[in-house]
Amino acid sequence: MAIRTLIVDDEAPARRELRFLLEKLPECQVIGEACSGEEALDFLSTTAVDVLFLDIQMHDLDGLMVARRLLEQGQLPLVVFATAFDAYALQAFEVRALDYILKPFDPQRLETTWKRVQERLLQPRGLEEQLGQLRSLLLSQSDPVHGAVDHRQAEAESPCPRLFRCVAVNKDGKMLLVDTTKILYATVEGRKAIVKVDEERLELNLTLQELEDRLDTNQFCRTHRAYLVNISAIREIIPWFNGAYNLILNDQSEVPVSRHYAKALKELLGL
């Protein structure tokens, strides 16, 4: 299977180097190069591509904007950001890039990236799933809470939801990976999604809805439009009023359960 590949970079030497390395990899077919974001969008409007190697800092559209434009147009190949700057790793994570590689390119690192490309393209519905994730991200940027109804529909349509063992959080200007089993609950404060881990409250790099999509539904449950809870952290369930409940967690945190979500929680707990 030939994997149709497009290289986008405003520096000709970088394009030549990446093409040279990619053409040594199995199944890679470099079908074109673009020297700007606009040129890449023009190319992609008429030509099908499986994977896009995309620089971030370019003189017209940056790579992140190119990815968003592709989403708006309803097409999205796999995206690998290839850049000289590591400062954009967080933004690349947020737009669900498959990988993020730094210049000058390391051939062994590129081989690892290419194996991920091959594995993803072999997964059923891989591109459709990525498109749905990016659409969810952009639509939910205005409010990290909304979208629970769409999530249930997406779950029904996708027989193999992808679960994550770790999620990224911000702490002291750094991006840290947190084991999802350590999360007691997740909520939102203002426009920010927050996870409680041990004694810390950490800002998510995902919306609450996106976090829910990545967690084991046998372990985590939505209890409120603004709360997800790890059921293994629940110590007490206190009836509240009008069919609602209040949860006391092992760390003494209190989490509300709205009437709308109470039935699902009780079913999950076998009550």
The pLDDT, as a whole number, for residue 254 is 87
Say if residue 7's pLDDT is above 80.
Answer: yes
For residues 75 and 170, membership in a common domain is answered with no
For residues 206 and 88, membership in a common domain is answered with no
| Relative orientation angle of helices 107-122 and 12-22, to the nearest 10 degrees | 70
The pLDDT, as a whole number, for residue 159 is 42
241 CA to centre of own chain: 37
Say if residue 139's pLDDT is above 60.
Answer: no
For residues 92 and 152, membership in a common domain is answered with no
3-state SS, residue 30? strand
**The CATH number of the domain where 24 resides is what?**
3.40.50.2300
For residues 49 and 169, membership in a common domain is answered with no
The pLDDT, as a whole number, for residue 5 is 97
For residues 252 and 196, membership in a common domain is answered with yes
The pLDDT, as a whole number, for residue 124 is 41
Confidence of residue 32 (pLDDT cuts 50, 70, 90): very high
The pLDDT, as a whole number, for residue 26 is 95
Range with the lowest mean pLDDT among 112-116, 127-131, 146-150, 216-220?
Answer: 146-150
For residues 69 and 161, membership in a common domain is answered with no
Q: Of 88, 105, 132, which one is at a domain's C-terminal end? A: 132
Structural contact between residues 125 and 157, judged by C-beta atoms closer than 8 angstroms? no
108 found inside a domain? yes
Say if residue 157's pLDDT is above 50.
Answer: no
Say if residue 19's pLDDT is above 70.
Answer: yes
- For residues 103 and 85, give the distance between their C-alpha atoms in angstroms, rounded to a whole number: 8
For residues 188 and 73, membership in a common domain is answered with no
103 CA to centre of own chain: 23
Percent with pLDDT over 90 in the chain: 28
- For residues 122 and 219, give the distance between their C-alpha atoms in angstroms, rounded to a whole number: 28
Confidence of residue 54 (pLDDT cuts 50, 70, 90): very high
For residues 106 and 155, membership in a common domain is answered with no
How many structural domains is the chain composed of? Answer: 2
**Count of other CB atoms within 10 angstroms of residue 161:** 15
CB within 8 Å of 7: residues ≥ 6 apart: 15, 18, 19, 22, 30, 32, 33, 34, 53
The first and second tokens of residue 128, run together, are 């459709």
Q: Of 132, 150, 169, which one is at a domain's C-terminal end? A: 132
For residues 175 and 259, membership in a common domain is answered with yes
Confidence of residue 73 (pLDDT cuts 50, 70, 90): low
Q: Of 82, 111, 132, which one is at a domain's C-terminal end? A: 132
Mean pLDDT of 155-180: 67
The pLDDT, as a whole number, for residue 71 is 64
229 CA to centre of own chain: 20
194 found inside a domain? yes
The pLDDT, as a whole number, for residue 132 is 52
148 pairs with which residues across the strands? none
Percent with pLDDT over 70 in the chain: 77
196 found inside a domain? yes
Confidence of residue 158 (pLDDT cuts 50, 70, 90): very low
For residues 100 and 146, membership in a common domain is answered with no
Say if residue 60's pLDDT is above 90.
Answer: no
Contacts 24+ apart (CB under 8 A), 114-122: 114/22, 114/25, 114/26, 114/28, 117/3, 117/50, 117/51, 117/78, 117/80, 118/3, 118/26, 118/27, 120/78, 121/1, 121/3, 121/50, 121/51, 121/78
Structural contact between residues 130 and 76, judged by C-beta atoms closer than 8 angstroms? yes
Confidence of residue 161 (pLDDT cuts 50, 70, 90): very low
Which one is predicted more confidently, 129 or 142? 129
For residues 99 and 204, membership in a common domain is answered with no
46 CA to centre of own chain: 27
- For residues 215 and 119, give the distance between their C-alpha atoms in angstroms, rounded to a whole number: 21
137 found inside a domain? no
Sort residue 252 into left (φ over 0), alpha (ψ -120 to 50) or beta: left
Range with the lowest mean pLDDT among 45-49, 70-74, 88-92, 235-239?
Answer: 88-92
The pLDDT, as a whole number, for residue 163 is 57
214 found inside a domain? yes
Give this prediction's pTM: 0.48
For residues 172 and 251, membership in a common domain is answered with yes
Structural contact between residues 180 and 231, judged by C-beta atoms closer than 8 angstroms? no
Q: Domain limits at 207?
A: 142-269
**The CATH number of the domain where 263 resides is what?**
2.40.50.1020
Say if residue 115's pLDDT is above 80.
Answer: yes
Q: Which residue from 201, 216, 211 is spatially nearest to 253, judged by alpha carbons?
A: 201
Average pLDDT over the chain, rounded to an integer: 79
Q: Which residue from 13, 73, 14, 19 is spatially nearest to 42, judged by alpha carbons?
A: 73
**Count of other CB atoms within 10 angstroms of residue 147:** 20
